[in-house]
Amino acid sequence: MAVLKKKTTKKVVKKVSKQKKKPVKKASQKPIKKISKKSKKKVGVKLKREKFNPVMRPGPYHWESEAVFNPAAILSDGRVHLFYRALGYDGVSRIGYASSGDGIHFDTRLTHPVYVAQSFEEAKENMKHFPFTSPARLVYDTEMYASGGGWGGCEDPRAVLIDGVVYMTFNMFNGWHSMRVGVTSIKEVDLLNKKWNWHNFAFLSKPGDRQKNWVLFPEKINGKFAVFHNLDMGDPGRVGIAYFKELNSREAPSGNGAPDPQGIPDHDVAWHFRTRSASAPPIKTKDGWLLLYHAMEKSDPNRYKVGAMLLDLNDPSKVLYRSSSPILEPDAWYENDWKPGIVYASGAVVKDGTLFVYYGGGDKHIGDASIKLSELLLDLKTNKRVSMKKEQ
């Protein structure tokens, strides 16, 4: 027994010594390779989702029974005001309203839409109604029109507050051959008193020119309204801005200056290869205009993600910085509940130093994500890999 014990002891010692020697070289080599790979891809800051998400879900009323999503947002009288896109069983997009004192809990939500664009007066410039769109056929079909599921009306609003007036832009949709950008306005005092006296409806884009997702800057520049219309001008250091003395289609850029958003070519810019659209209207900061936007990665081409950029304060067509990675990705269940892989961040406000971003998740719910504004700006400015300053 004593001999066996000795032999066993020797064998065990021998095995242990071999196990210690061989993996040492592998362990010393593998981490070096992993670190070098990670160092090549710089990951920036991310928005933090609100734990109560989704902050809004489809409601019990017929006009918003199927989906609530893609909200516009403004800050007025200390409250966040949302104008959200709502879909009922008839497939028509209308605008609903909700508000919050802390930017998270929406304690006010109306039981009726506050704006409906599918009236004869506002739809007559389209001249004809296509056979599968509102109001010729009021049928809700999520299979034929998977994106949003709607047949017509006012889609994907954005809002800004300028000199006591709320301006709301939105997509007027009447089939894929009739997409135009519309705008209307309401006095701030009427908003606060919930008197929905909307005025001055007009089309911003020209008839026959397929356009969507134009957003207003929240102040006039050199005495004119500034409209962001195109993320991709063929130069990663430039974006498309048009200036309007009056908000109507007579001053709109032509199709050459503002190309069809569905026809923008794919190419690598920062973290993405397919550029989609501006998200919320630009936000003025000391470092530039902060613009959030939607795009897709080459390795993940079927999911909308949100990026960020800083534009020059004096010449907002000039890009100063871009984020090196998405700041929000569609990973939560409510961002994949109906149409998978969608975060559509059409509303944003800064409240008490925090950037609150409101977005449609999966074309069905409304989510809320936030970050300290100073943290996001610092990340953008110090991210030298995607700085545009040297390219211009």
Q: What is the pLDDT along the chain (392 residues), one digit of tens a residue?
A: 443 343 444 443 344 343 444 443 333 333 333 323 333 456 789 999 999 999 999 999 999 999 999 999 999 999 999 999 999 887 889 999 999 999 999 999 999 999 997 544 444 444 444 434 444 444 556 666 555 656 678 999 999 999 999 999 999 877 666 788 999 999 999 999 999 999 989 999 988 888 889 999 999 999 999 999 999 888 889 999 999 999 999 999 876 677 776 777 888 999 999 989 999 999 999 999 999 999 999 999 999 999 999 999 999 999 999 999 999 999 999 999 989 999 999 999 999 999 999 999 999 999 999 999 999 999 999 875 454 443 33
pLDDT at 175: 64
d(CA 204, CA 295): 24
Given a contact cutoff of 8 angstroms between Cβ atoms, the answer to whether 195 and 183 are in contact is: no
SS3 124: helix
pLDDT at 390: 39
Q: Comparing C-alpha atoms, which of 324, 321, 286 is closest to residue 392?
A: 321
Distances (CA, A) of 271 to 146, 318, 322: 27, 19, 9
Q: Comparing C-alpha atoms, which of 239, 391, 218 is closest to residue 315?
A: 239
Q: Comparing C-alpha atoms, which of 332, 253, 238 is closest to residue 291?
A: 238
Q: Specify which residues 85 forms β-bridges with.
A: 69, 95
**Residue 62, burial from CB neighbour count under 10 angstroms (0-12, 13-18, 19+):** exposed
pLDDT at 370: 98
pLDDT at 265: 82
Burial 80-116 (b: 16+ CB within 10 A, else e): bbbbbbbbbebbbbbbbbbbbeebeebeebeeebbbb
> What residues contact residue 256 under an 8 Å CB cut-off, 6+ apart?
none
> What residues contact residue 149 under an 8 Å CB cut-off, 6+ apart?
66, 67, 87, 91, 140, 141, 142, 338, 363
**Domains delineated in the chain:** 41-391 (2.115.10.20)
**Residue 374, burial from CB neighbour count under 10 angstroms (0-12, 13-18, 19+):** middle
Q: List, in sequence order, the alpha helices (H) in the chain.
A: 2-40, 120-123, 188-192, 373-382
d(CA 298, CA 282): 26
pLDDT at 1: 41
Q: Comparing C-alpha atoms, which of 112, 123, 204 is closest to residue 158?
A: 204
In one-letter notation, the amino acid at residue 254 is S
Neighbours of 179 (CB within 10 A): 20
Given a contact cutoff of 8 angstroms between Cβ atoms, the answer to whether 106 and 98 are in contact is: yes
From first CA to last CA, the distance across the chain in angstroms is 84
d(CA 97, CA 138): 23
